[in-house]
Amino acid sequence: MESKWWQDRVVYQIYPRSFADSNDDGVGDLKGIISKLDYLKKLGIGIIWLSPPYVSPNEDNGYDIADYCNIQSEYGTLDDMDKLIEQAHRRDIKVLLDLVINHTSRAHQWFQNSRRRIDPYTNFYYWADKPSNWTGFFGEKAWEYDEVRGQYYLHLFAKGQPDLNYHEPKVIDAVEGVMRFWLDKGADGFRCDVINILWKTDLEDGKKKIALTGSEKYISAPGLHPLLQRFNSEVLSKYDCYTVGETVFADPQMARDLTSPERHELNTVFSFEHMETDCFFVKWLLRPFSPRRFFRALAKWQESLDWNTVYLENHDQPRSPSRFADGSPSSAKALAVLLLCLRGTAFIFEGQEIGMTNFDYKSMEDIKDIESHNIYDLATRLHLPRRIRWKMIRTKSRDNARTPMQWSDEANGGFSKASPWLKSNSNYKSINVKAQENDPDSVLAFYRRLLEFRNQSEILKKGAFSQILNQKGVFAFERSLDGKRLVIVINLSGKRRQVSLKETEVVMSSSGASSFSGSLEGYEAFILK
């Protein structure tokens, strides 16, 4: 079967606030992104995904949207977005936008009208006279009293992010209008934020008491699938677009239900199971990283779905070399081999291609992330020792991924001449694009070679996946197509390991080794045939 364009290309996620600042105000912008399109093309990227660039009060850095159809002034204008899409397409780079439709900002006119009971917006959100005992994803109570309305509204995330009520048909119409607006402007699809929690069950209507008792009422609830099928039939199917859904607590069966072609819902989803292998249930309850557990989760999803998404970093996750390894360039290269050789649409997060690491902050004063502050405050109320609280934040805060892109060894990593909105990691002096640009042994150079190989390899783009071994920090798997095969072996331990494999001819190695005898140094990876 012929592959789709989104199966043949690698995606690069851009966090606009932190990527490139064209006017030196300390905040990244659309013109900055445009100026780096040639860099992304040279890297080997075929799709870019922009975290929300829309108008927002930035309580959650753009994931609290006040106007879906206009651009945050710090980022530029609608004309700038038009130019970005046009310039990306000129370079054969597709553009995905973040579709955040579980909630809006309190500042959105829909909410302002709803709290005043102005039709047709009266029931655009979930209102109740008496709240349930839910706790939201950011560690707060999930209901907030609104004095204007005289009722409580539901917010599964921050207080400033009220949840939309999809039991109200006019909400569905309004959201479909947003999708059409951007697709008509040339966007090539959407990354769909927390897509499997849109539908909340046991709602008689938006005016009556809401009988909700727990997450079973909203995680992949039955009403979700007719809603997504409606979005697909009315909007998405009429465009050559790609959808990837972020899912909450999803298992492979939930993922199949969302992505099976005959169901006409989404193209792909992100799974999080491999990202939960260094914690207990929630990311803040830490446990030591286990390569075996990590590889087992990756293999499970490779074998469970016909087509996956594969990623190791994004705007909500810590940096992979710091999280899954020792932070060294060699570990960044080994992780690159893992990422780009698995079956599925691969996603790279900005700075991953130069081996950026977690922040080096010393206290909460440098943290901007609302989730991190809420969790730190909750841990304080629970009387956890400060060192434990800080370890939780230092290890898992979303700000780890959001430090400004490190372009050079100039002030602020060459991101901006002004003080950045979020403090730069001080290792920008050694880890930056300029330092790696012409270094054939750099992480950046390795990513470019590996992406070039992947983009030309039908086996890596289309081949089947089969696990070979998972032991002592070493993971090996096969990719095969039409009788041809590649074997990929990754040592994600810091110790030398010996394995027994039939394949010995080296196609590529993370260390530059040209031969393979079965021995892998710590954080070394090979592609063999």
Taking the alpha carbons of 113, 114, 115, 119 in that order, is the dihedral positive or negative? positive
With H, G, I as helix, E, B as strand and everything else as coil, classify residue 403.
coil
Q: What is the mean pLDDT of residues 373-395?
A: 95
- Give the burial class of 104: count Cβ atoms within 10 A of its Cβ; 0-12 exposed, 13-18 middle, 19 or more buried: buried
- In this predicted model, what pLDDT tens digit does every residue of 45-70 receive, in sequence order? 999 999 999 999 999 999 999 999 99
Instruction: Please report, in angstroms and rounded to a whole number, the separation of the first and last CA atoms in the chain.
Output: 25
List 168, 193, 313, 369, catalytic entry:
193
pLDDT at residue number 212: 41
Structural domains of the chain sorted by starting position, each given as residue range(s) with its CATH number in brackets: 5-104+169-362+403-452 (3.20.20.80), 464-528 (2.60.40.1180)
In angstroms, the CA 229 to CA 263 distance is 7
Q: What is the mean pLDDT of residues 202-214?
A: 43
- For every residue of 107-151, DSSP letters joined together read TSHHHHHHHTT-TTSTTSB-EESS----B-TTSSBSEEEETTTTE
Helix axes 370-381, 386-396, angle to 10 degrees: 160
Active site residue 234: no
C-beta of residue 179 within 8 angstroms of C-beta of residue 231: yes
- In this predicted model, what pLDDT tens digit does every residue of 146-156 receive, in sequence order? 999 999 999 99
Tally of CB atoms within 10 A around 323 = 21
Q: Give alpha helix (H) positions in 167-314.
A: 169-184, 224-234, 252-259, 291-304
Q: What is the mean pLDDT of residues 14-21?
A: 98
CA atoms within 13 A on the CB side of 496: 4
List 29, 188, 246, 478, catalytic entry:
246
- Residue 447: partners with Cβ closer than 8 Å, 6 or more residues away: 43, 44, 336, 348, 353
Share of the chain above pLDDT 90, in %: 91
Active site residue 193: yes
**Closest CA relative to residue 510, chosen from 387, 339, 300, 307:** 339
Quick one: tokens of 156? Answer: 């599964």
Task: Please report which confidence band the pLDDT of residue 213 belongs to, taking 50, 70 and 90 as the band edges.
Answer: very low
